[in-house]
Amino acid sequence: MNTSQPQDTAPPPKTSRLARYFPFLDWGRGYGLTTFGDDLMAAVIVTIMLVPQALAYALLAGLPPEVGLYASILPLIAYAVFGTSRTLAVGPVAVVSLMTAAAVGQLALPGTADYIAAAVVLAFMSGLILVIMGLFRLGFLANFLSHPVIAGFITASGILIAASQLRHVFGIEASGHTLYEMAVSLAAGIGQANPATFAVGVATLAFLFGVRRWLKVLLTRIGVPVRAADIAAKVAPIAAVAATAYASALLNLPDQGVRIVGDIPQGLPPLTVPSIQLELWLQLAGAALLISIIGFVESVSVAQTLAAKRRERIDPDQELVGLGASNVAAAFSGGYPVTGGFARSVVNFDAGARTPAAGAFTAGGIALATLYLTPYLFHLPQATLAATIIVAVLSLVDFGVLRRTWTYSKADFAAVAATILTTLGIGVEAGVLAGVILSLVLFLYRTSRPHMAVVGLVPGTEHFRNVLRHEVKTSPRLLSLRVDESLYFANARYLEDRLYDMVAAQPELRHVVLMCPAVNEIDASALESLEAINHRLCELGVSFHLSEVKGPVMDRLQKTEFLDHLTGDVFLSHYQAVATLAPEILQGDALDAPAPQVARA
């Protein structure tokens, strides 16, 4: 076969190979003034939204508020260079902030130098893991986190995050890593709630929930375009920040016991070198891996959804590199782990961002905020930031996933329920592990008992269907068995046992045909089982045949001696097998053989 390329094929652009690792070389070639204007406008809107979020999520992670701003500058520039999504907005997010607090909180007290150093190391390790996964194209590892498990984890995390912020709304001391611990701690301190703090928190919550629920509707009713109204509703938290900071300074709320953000250092992020203490790295290794995978899954899901809306595409493996570079950049600029944020990315998309340059412009806006705006945040109540977090994370809570999975798949429901309960009752890392482990266990159990159907010919066609579901033609001399699963070590013995039972129920049987249209792989254990079946049937005077074997499976079988010892044949189609082995079925005078009882298809 001639495999040479056509001579008139144009050579690839010289930058194509470099663009694989530096996507900006691709989109940057056609960058123009119009695109610049769209990206700049989107950056202004996202910057307004990101400033309060960055401050709030840093506090959620147990870090000084400025760390959230630091994590929103260089990481965005790094992603603009290495990322492939045109609209993904990278930065601090709620779930990763919670996971950071859970991991680092076991090693040091929040806010201390050791705590900040550990968070920096966590970002650096997460970045390295993501980059290595990207370079070795290991993005498929994220597939072990099923969507129901991720949905359950995010739902439970949203509840934990909201519960953890109630102490700031009430102005009391409370702690805990599980929902029970938080509830007990809150109940013990509720009697010392600060009225002024509670008033600020509740007012902010009411405003934010009201804006989220009604502002878009009201604006569209008075003629504001839907896109602009939606963006206005999403950036409304900045109004709450400005109003409560002004009210705090005007009414001197700190003297009434209202806790404020306080002094936020002005200036660009400092150059930070992550610690290389081996013991610290070992202690954070598991958390870094989980943060990397969960952050990647969350980010790539958002990126793929937004890319599909514009008929664009992303490269998941390069996304690993882009997110990894962002986290490394966060580590060297005093930040903590980051990933793509859902709400910010949607705002970025709706605001008209065209390229990742919008993220770089956003980084410039955050840098200006750290240089000039931080003094104005001195009087910002922590209750305001807590309310911002609560409203943001409650939108992530989706108890509907329990109903949907219960209706569709009890196994997925079990995985989701286990993830939610373990996350709420033990912690975030345990919740993810519980969901993953249970998903794998249920998968192994489900595939260890593959569905098998005895099939017969649908009259007047060449199609074969389950004898328990359709009126079909069969023969007592032929058993046609369809296996709807790949054959591997976990289900090989099950196939043997079920087949022997079926054979014993048909004393006139002379041929068994294993129908393999759904068999994508046969491993060594399953091959041994097929050899044992072939030998056992031969002793009973029954021939063993295969039909509709896929090419790759056939290629592997041909490398073994199995086909040489097979007592029957391998048929290209099952119709051909029936025509050869039991032609009476096609002639319309077949006997209706008693079919072995098998599970319904």
| Predicted pLDDT at 601 | 39
Q: Considering only CA atoms, which of 601, 598, 588, 572 is closest in space to residue 474?
A: 588
Domain 452-587 has CATH 3.30.565.10: no
Instruction: Retrieve residue 231's tokens.
Output: 């963006």
Cα-based angle 345, 68, 240 (whole degrees, multiple of 5): 75
Buried b (16+ CB within 10 A) or exposed e, 316-337: bbbbbbbbbbbbbbbbbbbbbb
What is the distance between the alpha carbons of residues 337 and 120, in angstroms, rounded to a whole number? 8
Q: Which residues contact 102 (CB under 8 A, 6 or more apart)?
A: 177, 287, 427, 428, 429
| Predicted pLDDT at 125 | 97
DSSP secondary structure of 496-545: HHHHHHHHHT-TT--EEEEE-TT---B-HHHHHHHHHHHHHHHHTT-EEE
Q: Could you tell me which residues are beta bridge partners of residue 339?
A: 91
Contacts within 8 Å (CB) and 24+ apart, 593-596: 593/474, 593/475, 593/476, 593/478, 593/506, 593/508, 594/476, 594/505, 594/506, 595/454, 595/456, 595/467, 595/468, 595/474, 596/454, 596/479, 596/501, 596/502, 596/505, 596/506
| Predicted pLDDT at 187 | 93
Instruction: Retrieve residue 564's tokens.
Output: 């040489």
| Predicted pLDDT at 8 | 38
What is the distance between the alpha carbons of residues 197 and 193, in angstroms, rounded to a whole number? 8
Instruction: Retrieve residue 173's tokens.
Output: 């001391």
Cα-based angle 352, 391, 47 (whole degrees, multiple of 5): 35
Block mean pLDDT (10 aa), the chain, length 601: 39 57 84 92 90 92 95 96 93 93 91 94 97 89 77 90 92 88 92 94 93 88 85 83 94 93 92 94 94 90 86 89 96 96 86 92 96 92 93 87 91 90 89 84 88 93 93 94 95 94 93 96 96 96 96 95 95 95 77 44 39
| Predicted pLDDT at 16 | 61
CB atoms near residue 460 (< 10 Å): 7
Q: What is the pLDDT of residues 378-393, one digit of tens each?
A: 999 999 999 999 988 8
| Predicted pLDDT at 18 | 77
Instruction: Retrieve residue 423's tokens.
Output: 């996350």
**Residue ranges per structural domain of the chain:** 16-439, 452-587
DSSP secondary structure of 220-280: HHTT--HHHHHHHHHSTHHHHHHHHHHHHHHTTGGGGT--B------SSPPP------HHH
Instruction: Retrieve residue 94's tokens.
Output: 């709620």
Q: Which residue has the tokens 């506090």?
A: 59
| Predicted pLDDT at 439 | 82
| Predicted pLDDT at 588 | 57
Instruction: Retrieve residue 17's tokens.
Output: 């190979």
